């Protein structure tokens, strides 16, 4: 008989990504992995595609909030970190705060951008700029017009949301604990930029570096998964005792 679900982990993908980024994450018995896809993106193409973090958060809050009835952690990567942070605020306002917010590969808000905005560039220049800044599989799109037609509008919408949020006034802190992770080979975001998340929580804060580049979550990093497990362990015992 399957063990009953006593906790959940909501995972938010990076720009241009999907729930597949978190496939294979083993979180232990009784912990449900909820890997999220954004409306209008690869897995949900028929829906409108919000291109701002507030719009994404509003849509996802309506969708996910019924599942905040158990202890939960929010985990995001890059754009997903910004979405996770604001979802935590929405959950706190609803009286259902998360156990922690785990932020991966994302500079804290209000930091000077490392490069110029890319979303208004022509297609070729846009792809080159994204590949240079973040690495990953986007470079393969340059020789595939059919894939570009599908992926480029979604990737632009995601990066537009990221750029708009990053360029806005810094948000107020949340109360939830924040755990931030930096990839040691991430050429888009440095450790100091990620450590600056300290200013955005009134709770506990910790920051660590892990092997890998901007997309280190796809390698199922044991440090990130272990931290999530530890944050839920006490709550799971309390629920099952």
| Catalytic, out of 18, 52, 65, 78 | 78
Tokens of 154: 């979604």
Has 81 been annotated as catalytic?
A: no
**Residue 117 to residue 194: CA distance in whole angstroms:** 19
Alpha helices in 21-134 (DSSP H): 53-64, 79-93, 123-134
Cα–Cα distance list, 194 to 30, 110, 112, 172 (Å): 31, 11, 12, 17
Which residues, 6 or more positions from 199, have their beta carbon under 8 angstroms from its beta carbon? Answer: 108, 170, 173
Strand partners, 31: 7
Strand partners, 75: 11, 102
Q: In what order do the strands lie in the sheet containing 178-183? A: 31-35, 7-12, 72-77, 100-104, 178-183, 205-210
Cα–Cα distance list, 30 to 5, 11, 142, 193, 239 (Å): 4, 16, 43, 34, 10
DSSP symbols for 18-29: -GGGGTT----T
**Hey, which residues are catalytic here?**
78
């Amino acid at each position: 008989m399957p063990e009953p679900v006593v906790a959940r982990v909501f995972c938010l993908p990076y720009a241009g990504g999907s729930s597949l980024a978190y496939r294979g994450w083993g979180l232990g018995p009784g912990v449900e992995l909820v890997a999220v896809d954004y409306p209008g993106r690869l897995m949900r193409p028929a829906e409108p595609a919000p291109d701002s973090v507030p719009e994404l958060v509003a849509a996802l809050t309506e969708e996910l909030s019924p599942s905040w009835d158990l202890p939960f952690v929010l985990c995001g990567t890059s754009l997903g970190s910004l979405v996770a942070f604001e979802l935590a605020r929405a959950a706190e306002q609803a009286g259902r705060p998360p156990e922690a917010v785990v932020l991966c590969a994302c500079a804290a808000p209000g930091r000077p951008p490392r490069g110029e905005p890319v979303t208004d560039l022509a297609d070729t220049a846009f792809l080159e700029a994204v590949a240079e800044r973040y690495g990953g599989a986007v470079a393969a799109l340059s020789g595939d017009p059919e894939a570009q037609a599908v992926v480029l509008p979604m990737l632009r919408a995601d990066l537009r949301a990221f750029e708009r949020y990053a360029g806005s006034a810094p948000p107020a802190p949340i109360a939830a604990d924040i755990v931030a992770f930096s990839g040691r080979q991430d050429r888009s975001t440095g450790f100091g930029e990620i450590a600056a998340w300290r200013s955005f929580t009134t709770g506990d804060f910790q920051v660590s570096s892990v092997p890998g580049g901007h997309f280190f979550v796809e390698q199922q990093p044991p440090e990130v998964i272990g931290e999530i497990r530890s944050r839920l362990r006490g709550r799971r015992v309390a629920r099952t005792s």
